Amino acid sequence: MVAKIKSGKSLIGALNYNEHKVKAGKARLIAAPLYHRDFSVLSFDEKLFRLTDLAERNQRTKTNTVHLSLNFDVSENLDEQRLCAIAERYMEKIGFGDQPFLVYEHFDAGHAHIHIVTTNIEADGNRISLHNIGKLRSEPARKEVESEFGLIRAESQHKSMVAEKDIVPLIYGDIDTKRAISNIINHVTRTYKFTSLPELNAILKTFNVQADRGAKDTTMFKKNGLRYWALDDQGNKTGVPFKASAIYKKPTLKLLEERFRLNEFLRKPYKKDLIAKIERILTRAKTRQELQTALSNQGVITLLRENEQRRLYGLTFVDIDNKVVFNGSDLGKGYSAASVDSRLLENSRKTTSALIKGPDAYRESPDQLMRAADGGLISDLLSPLEQAGEQNLFERRKKKKRKKLRI
């Protein structure tokens, strides 16, 4: 668990931040300890007045607003009741157990987290000191809460991420888009080895997500900005994009470029294995579709880049088993778009030629076929019949010559 505490001078500003999230469907109020009514029926004014009433009891203190967040590991699935219990226990341990506060659960990130709004002015007008509160009170409280509730520790450098089986293609509108995109990007950048933005997108598109730098003439592109889109079933951008800086772990272009350089070395051991898979299929595949289907059965996704005339100008292979991505040309000249298309065409021609030659093999005379079948036996058996026929014809002609002449 990671705790972040911010202090300020505007209770209405902190409250508005969370209420706007609620209206946008990205958060909800789940608890309001020490409020006089149930949290589910509180109006905006009632939420604000309970805190401002306390803040006004100490006119000398200008910093009277506390807005904090508790952030949990992406693998932790915490229900509302458990989140409320964690919030109350943490607030008690940092010295705010007797203060009214509002607890909001947020859904706009790749991990579970809550926001808490309160004031540091007590009912008697005394001020709860915020000096060095993070080190002196929040850190010890965080560790105790982690232990008490069995939470993943903030110090852990090897957090248990969302299980791979739980990372599925995004269905826009089905769950919180930002959270789904964050989980997918975190999974892909952590497990796959890619060396460019197009290669990253080759993987992301299988999850209905796309990284986009914008058009080359835009300010975002010139300043190396990056945003992430959700894609619909046809691969079209949909909804509202999210800046990389707003995504969990901030997968900006600068950070990705560092990953590109590292992956150049990490993916090398898997190159030969991928070539072997492709080569086995290329020896018999005749069409692009056949190539894609056969490689898919071998755990390799083949992405074709075609122009409007369906001319193939690029190939990308995503090896799901080994979690590596290669452009065809990176595997060797024989696996570039032009070479692969040429081999597919050659395989198709060979098949067509064989089909044409096949019927010609049977365009022989019946006598030739019979001789080929029995070594000439049938033809030899027919010979006496043919000779007998010729002899009978000669005998008939001789009988005509023996007729007597009439005198």
Rounded CA separation 41/99 (Å): 20
- Confidence (pLDDT) at 112: 86
- Confidence (pLDDT) at 401: 53
Task: Confirm if 5 and 70 have CB atoms less than 8 A apart.
Answer: no
Rounded CA separation 181/227 (Å): 11
- Confidence (pLDDT) at 157: 40
Beta-bridge mates of residue 105: 28, 114
- Confidence (pLDDT) at 154: 78
Enter the DSSP assignment of 128.
-
- Confidence (pLDDT) at 128: 95
Q: Where are the domains of the chain?
A: 2-149, 164-266, 269-358, 366-401
- Confidence (pLDDT) at 229: 93
- Confidence (pLDDT) at 129: 93
Report the amino acid identity of residue 345: L
Rounded CA separation 316/301 (Å): 8
Task: Confirm if 237 and 229 have CB atoms less than 8 A apart.
Answer: yes
Look-up of token digits 């880049």: 305
Tally of CB atoms within 10 A around 83: 20
- Confidence (pLDDT) at 351: 76
Rounded CA separation 121/63 (Å): 9
Tally of CB atoms within 10 A around 195: 22
Report the amino acid identity of residue 135: K
Rounded CA separation 254/18 (Å): 31
Rounded CA separation 171/151 (Å): 29
Q: For residue 324, which of 164, 183, 191 has the smallest C-alpha distance?
A: 191
Question: Based on the number of CB atoms within 10 Å of its own CB, is 29 exposed (0-12), middle (13-18) or buried (19 or more)?
Answer: middle
- Confidence (pLDDT) at 235: 87
The two beta strands, 237-243 and 300-306, are unpaired
CATH assignment, 2-149: 3.30.930.30
- Confidence (pLDDT) at 54: 95
C-alpha to C-alpha distances, 96 to 12, 89, 145, nearest whole angstrom: 19, 10, 15
Rounded CA separation 126/366 (Å): 116
Structure tokens at 360: 């010609």
pTM of the model: 0.55
Structure confidence by residue, pLDDT tens digits, 312-326: 888 999 999 899 999
Instruction: For the chain, list residues with pLDDT below 70.
Output: 109-110, 155-166, 174-175, 354-407
Helix 366-374 crosses helix 377-401 at what angle (to 10 degrees)? 130
